[in-house]
Structure 1
Amino acid sequence: MAVPQAGETAPAFEAPDQNGTTHRLADYRGRKVALYFYPKDDTSGCTTQACNLRDNYQQLLAAGVQVLGVSIDSAKSHQKFIEKHELPFPLLVDEDKKLVQDYGVWQEKSMYGRKYMGTMRYTFLIDEEGKVERVITKVETKNHAAQLL
């Protein structure tokens, strides 16, 4: 699936968070959503990114932006990540890779000359009507909240 572009309708989703609570894009109608995809819980870049969003969470909420993180990790992994870093926002479980595929972020990556499939660090800012307002493909992990605001 191709990466949704600005102006397009965001792919609908339904996924459980770390506690098993189901989140649907339709539930957020009337609010902006920062749907951020990240490779793996508790790795250096992903932790830096999550903590930047945590530290600026009240500003994001004040700007009307609900943050939802997504990775292919398990609910248990998400729970540990949230507890360890005191993250105030839900992390959606995508073990079946449906969201990463629907949003086109499951792509070929390369590390040390080895090619493999993995989650790209992309963020989709979705407007109140469910349309993609912006796609951030060059995420600055230490400054991600500012990129959203």
Structure 2
Amino acid sequence: MANPLQAGDKAPNFSMPSTEGDISLKDFEGSYLVLYFYPRDNTPGCTTEAKDFTALVDEFGARNAKIVGVSRDSMTKHENFKAKQDLRVILASDEDGKTTESYGTWVEKNMYGKTHMGVARETFLIDPTGKIIKLWKKVRVKGHAQEVLEALPE
């Protein structure tokens, strides 16, 4: 992506299957949306992040915010992950990669000297009109869900 998204930009539209049925950006008009991108279901960091957001889901709801986790895993993997970990966040499947591409989270990664493409751990806070009001790049999982909650108006 030539120009990475920034606070103040209109959030790119998306349409994906999710654990709550098909969703798109317009489904969240009138509420805040925490759209967090993560590499893969059932890995240690991704599990911790999903559980941390789940633990705060009621507090997010009290601030008129919905939480959607996005990875390129299949819906079957998402359903299993949600059930196994007792998650209360929406998990969306971006198998075709359109959403991760439009949000700039499909990136080249380097592990043990080898490069590959993968989903960057990033979070976008989108206001009720569909505008990005804050984003977090290169997210460190510990304390992240609380930090996102604190960025929301009370």
Which residue identity does 2:81 align to in structure 1? F
Alignment partner of 1:7: what SS?
A: coil
Structure 2 segments unaligned to the other structure (5+ residues): 150-154
Which residue identity does 1:56 align to in structure 2? L
Tell me, yes or no, if the aligned pair for 2:50 and 2:89 is still in contact at 8 Å: no
* Counterpart residue number, 2:4: 3
Moved over 4 A (4+): none
The number of equivalent residue pairs is: 148
Q: How does 1:81-92 map to 2 (within 5 A)?
A: 81-92=81-92
Tell me, yes or no, if the aligned pair for 1:94 and 1:100 is still in contact at 8 Å: yes
TM-score scaled by length of structure 1: 0.95
Tell me, yes or no, if the aligned pair for 1:60 and 1:145 is still in contact at 8 Å: no
Structure 2 distance, partners of 1:76, 1:3, is 31
Q: Aligned Cα RMSD in Å?
A: 1.1
Q: Does 2:106 match 1:106?
A: yes
Aligned-residue sequence identity (percent) comes to 42
* Counterpart residue number, 1:65: 65
Structure 1 distance, partners of 2:138, 2:121, is 8
Alignment partner of 2:46: what SS?
A: helix
TM-score scaled by length of structure 2: 0.92
Tell me, yes or no, if the aligned pair for 1:67 and 1:90 is still in contact at 8 Å: yes
- Deviation track 1:71-90 (CA, whole Å, cap 9, x = no partner) reads 00000000110001111121
Structure 2 distance, partners of 1:136, 1:95, is 23
Q: How does 1:1-149 map to 2 (within 5 A)?
A: 1=1, 2-18=3-19, 21-149=21-149
Alignment partner of 1:50: what SS?
A: helix
Tell me, yes or no, if the aligned pair for 2:13 and 2:25 is still in contact at 8 Å: yes
Structure 1 segments unaligned to the other structure (5+ residues): none
Q: CA deviation at 1:11?
A: 0.1
Which residue identity does 1:139 align to in structure 2? V
Structure 2 distance, partners of 1:65, 1:93, is 20
Structure 2 distance, partners of 1:117, 1:138, is 15
Q: CA deviation at 1:101?
A: 0.2
Q: CA deviation at 1:140?
A: 2.8
